Structure 1
Amino acid sequence: MISKRVGVVESIVDQNEGLDDIRVSINGDIQRAYNYSKMTGKINVGDEVVLNTTAVELSLGTGGYHFVITNLNNLESDLTQGGHIMKLRYTPFQVKVDSVEEQESIYHDKIEKFKSLDDMPVVVGTLHSMLTPFVASYKKNNPNKKLVYIMTDGAALPIYLSKNVYTLKSKGLIDSTITIGSAFGGDHECINIYTALITAKEILNADCVFVSMGPGIAGTGTKYGFTGIEQGPILDAVYKLGGNPIAIPRVSFADKRDRHVGISHHSITVFKDIVNVKVNIPITNYQDEKINVVKSQIEKNKLENKHNITIIDNKNTKLDLDYFGLKVRSMGRNYEQDKEFFEAASTAAYYLMEVCDVNRRENY
């Protein structure tokens, strides 16, 4: 069920493409809210708005903001042009988009004629916070290569919510974005991961693709009950289409939950039980006992029998982030508080250079 309240816009704290960070007065109490301007229109101080307050009332971490449902002073939106594919289908918020696969699309024939990804590297993460460290390290060392980000619908659906994507695109570090499933707002819209990968190669001429959900992740503490389990089917899709599947493991030594210490049980579940094909898993050569913990988990779960495990020396993550003036945070922790998590994503970029690029050159 949806909890709704009416509020009045008191101030606009920040605005970027598609997202307004606002403060609203609800019965005299000033609270934070987000307005998706392309969905619910331009907003002004003094506007009366209907808000979805469900997550805040439940004190949820995921989706824990008020969201504008309707601006009673402006009922117009920008998501009204072109396309015949609906996202958020059969809900009061369904939106019309131009999908790459549509018959009327100028790209339709390219999608139809696709044959193979030709070993294009596709790096698949789970948390959205893996995106920035990977991009920083990849673009620092490959400034002229095209990097495409595919955002799944495993968490946030409007790409506008991601301030990371906005920052990385503004700095020219992400060349193009694709949103799939019920996610929307990317430079290109696709129905599923298969056509998104084809779009990245055939239409956007990507040198590398990064795939992950948007901000937010749902987890239940059960073996299979987390949205990051999508990593497995995505890696399968990459392999099926002839790409090079590379998986970022979720690693942390700062998380207080035992199931997420070292390699998270999320990653172990995906690598051991969900993904059906052999994939490449870069592992950072952590210092001291930390690397021993990770190696023990790999051995205990026999991951080296199923996948290509490669230990990579990487001490450049912070340098790469600082080079572009980027800050990172995951689960409320910054780089200094959880560096192994961010290093795992960055290391995937170094794996591409040290292993994948070398192999490709040798095969030509």
Structure 2
Amino acid sequence: MNSIGLKKGYVSEIIKDYDDIQEIIVEIDKEKYGAINYKMFTGTCSCMDEVLLNTSAIDLKLGTGGYHFVYFNYNNDNSEIKGSGHIMKLRYTPLQFKCFSVEEQESPFHKEINEFESLFGHPIAVGTLHSQVSVFFEAFKKFSPQSKTVYIMTDGAALPISLSNNIRKLKEENIIDYTITTGNSFGGDFEAVNVYTAIIMAREVLKAGAIMICMGPGIVGTGTKYGFTGIEQGYILDSIASLGGTPVAIPRVSFKDFRSRHHGLSHHTLTILKDIVKTQCIVPFAIDDENSYSLIENTINTESLLNKHNFINYKKSIYSDLVADFVIRPKSMGRSYKDDPYLFNCSIAAAEYISERID
């Protein structure tokens, strides 16, 4: 039984060409499609290269941006491993590759990571949607322009960080200073085996003021209570607490989502705060409309969450002027800041909370 759709094609055009990724046009049976080529796996593509493409997502009509992915380039049929490191990612698959992880014995950071003691209450934000990432960091840099920022990307969605154009832009603009990819995600400025050592690296070695942990582009959901990859927010929040930090949970809030399970306080956030996370968290909002916040308060009270977590509403904060000056216009699931401001205001409120409490 095949679980991968594979088709041969030819590269007809190079649209974008970065150090680590190419966006290309391929031709398959005289039809043209957009495709992504990760250079670390298949080398650099040139026009007229014959390539084997993973067409699974488009075959299944999934929301991956409408791309095929280069699986093999027949013009680059030999390659050798280069560089340091021996930690494998995508282990025991045909695409397993080695990386140089911050924890390994040969790492210049090994000693500092190994001797870590505590975060000493330092607040760290955790999101569930990749669209929250740019909003959090752009807001934080407005509040604390001199503080270092680190984005830790999990493997809950897209694994290559290079797929995120937002992260590339934020790095270019020095809004995000460093990136760390954890688990089987890859391509950050630093690689880490797990989220614990990524947090230690971010705070102990890189001296970050703002640290946000969140998956890359894409989120898996099934419409069931526990069947979504954003559930990782719960155990990541617990990991922050176990390291001596203050976990800040960015809630998923919307008053424009047509799906009832995501209206108001999303069932994703509710499940995490009620049933998954075991430690007390800071949960920031910024909702100035009384009717909207009453709906949130009713959910919090009904689900008996007041005794578990510390909910803060920056209801007097006006963020629209702040957002107007952002490099990246906030957008999530087709909705802009104007369409659904509270969806993004929670990320800004988290940035404001942390900016008020860092060293």
TM-score bracket for this pair, using the shorter chain length: over 0.9
**1:147-186 residue pairs with structure 2 within 5 A?**
147-186=149-188
Q: Deviations for 1:292-312, whole angstroms, at most 9, x for unmatched residues?
A: 111111111111110011111
Where do 4+ consecutive residues of structure 1 move more than 4 Å?
Answer: 76-79
Question: What's 1:277 paired with?
Answer: 279
Question: What's 2:144 paired with?
Answer: 142
Give, as a single letter, the amino acid of the residue that structure 2 aligns with 1:28.
K
Residues 79/317 of structure 1: CA separation in 2 closer, same or farther (3 Å cut): farther
Question: What's 2:194 paired with?
Answer: 192
Question: What's 1:303 paired with?
Answer: 305
- Verify the 8 A CA contact 2:202 2:208 in the aligned structure 1: yes
Give, as a single letter, the amino acid of the residue that structure 1 aligns with 2:262.
H
CA distance in 2, matches of 1:333, 1:49: 36
Secondary structure of the 2:306 match is helix
Please state how far the C-alpha of 1:68 moved relative to its aligned partner: 0.6
CA distance in 2, matches of 1:320, 1:15: 32
Give, as a single letter, the amino acid of the residue that structure 2 aligns with 1:285.
I
**1:14-163 residue pairs with structure 2 within 5 A?**
14-62=16-64, 64-75=66-77, 80-163=82-165
CA distance in 2, matches of 1:314, 1:71: 56
Question: What's 2:232 paired with?
Answer: 230
Secondary structure of the 1:326 match is coil
Q: Deviations for 1:74-99, whole angstroms, at most 9, x for unmatched residues?
A: 24669732110000000011111001
Identify the match of residue 247 of structure 1 among 238, 246, 249: 249
CA distance in 1, matches of 2:191, 2:170: 19
Residues 309/172 of structure 1: CA separation in 2 closer, same or farther (3 Å cut): same
Please state how far the C-alpha of 1:193 moved relative to its aligned partner: 0.8
- Verify the 8 A CA contact 2:12 2:25 in the aligned structure 1: yes
Give, as a single letter, the amino acid of the residue that structure 1 aligns with 2:186.
F
Please state how far the C-alpha of 1:64 moved relative to its aligned partner: 4.9
Secondary structure of the 1:348 match is helix
Secondary structure of the 2:185 match is coil
Give, as a single letter, the amino acid of the residue that structure 2 aligns with 1:4.
L
Give, as a single letter, the amino acid of the residue that structure 2 aligns with 1:282.
P
Please state how far the C-alpha of 1:14 moved relative to its aligned partner: 2.0
CA distance in 1, matches of 2:174, 2:280: 33
Question: What's 2:323 paired with?
Answer: 321
Question: What's 2:354 paired with?
Answer: 352
Give, as a single letter, the amino acid of the residue that structure 2 aligns with 1:176.
Y
Secondary structure of the 2:179 match is strand
Please state how far the C-alpha of 1:321 moved relative to its aligned partner: 3.5
CA distance in 2, matches of 1:191, 1:155: 17
TM-score of the pair, normalised by structure 2: 0.95
Secondary structure of the 1:34 match is strand
Residues 201/353 of structure 1: CA separation in 2 closer, same or farther (3 Å cut): closer
Please state how far the C-alpha of 1:44 moved relative to its aligned partner: 1.4
Give, as a single letter, the amino acid of the residue that structure 2 aligns with 1:120.
H
CA distance in 1, matches of 2:230, 2:17: 29
Please state how far the C-alpha of 1:40 moved relative to its aligned partner: 1.7
- Verify the 8 A CA contact 1:80 1:96 in the aligned structure 2: no
- Verify the 8 A CA contact 1:79 1:97 in the aligned structure 2: no
Q: Deviations for 1:181-208, whole angstroms, at most 9, x for unmatched residues?
A: 0011111111111111111111111112
Question: What's 1:258 paired with?
Answer: 260
RMSD of Structure 2 on Structure 1 (CA): 1.7
Residues 340/74 of structure 1: CA separation in 2 closer, same or farther (3 Å cut): same
TM-score of the pair, normalised by structure 1: 0.94
Please state how far the C-alpha of 1:237 moved relative to its aligned partner: 0.4
CA distance in 2, matches of 1:179, 1:320: 29
Residues 169/344 of structure 1: CA separation in 2 closer, same or farther (3 Å cut): same
Give identity over the alignment, percent. 48
Give, as a single letter, the amino acid of the residue that structure 2 aligns with 1:312.
Y
CA distance in 1, matches of 2:80, 2:56: 25
**Unmatched runs of 5 consecutive residues or more in structure 1:** none
Secondary structure of the 1:14 match is strand
- Verify the 8 A CA contact 2:220 2:228 in the aligned structure 1: yes
Secondary structure of the 1:341 match is helix
Question: What's 2:341 paired with?
Answer: 339
Secondary structure of the 1:20 match is strand
CA distance in 2, matches of 1:241, 1:42: 41
Secondary structure of the 1:303 match is coil
Secondary structure of the 1:131 match is helix
Q: Deviations for 1:135-172, whole angstroms, at most 9, x for unmatched residues?
A: 11100121110110000000011111111110100000
| Aligned residue pairs, count | 357
Secondary structure of the 2:71 match is strand
CA distance in 2, matches of 1:30, 1:314: 51
Q: Deviations for 1:229-282, whole angstroms, at most 9, x for unmatched residues?
A: 000000000000011110000011111110000110000000000000001001
Q: Deviations for 1:47-81, whole angstroms, at most 9, x for unmatched residues?
A: 11111000100001147521111121224669732
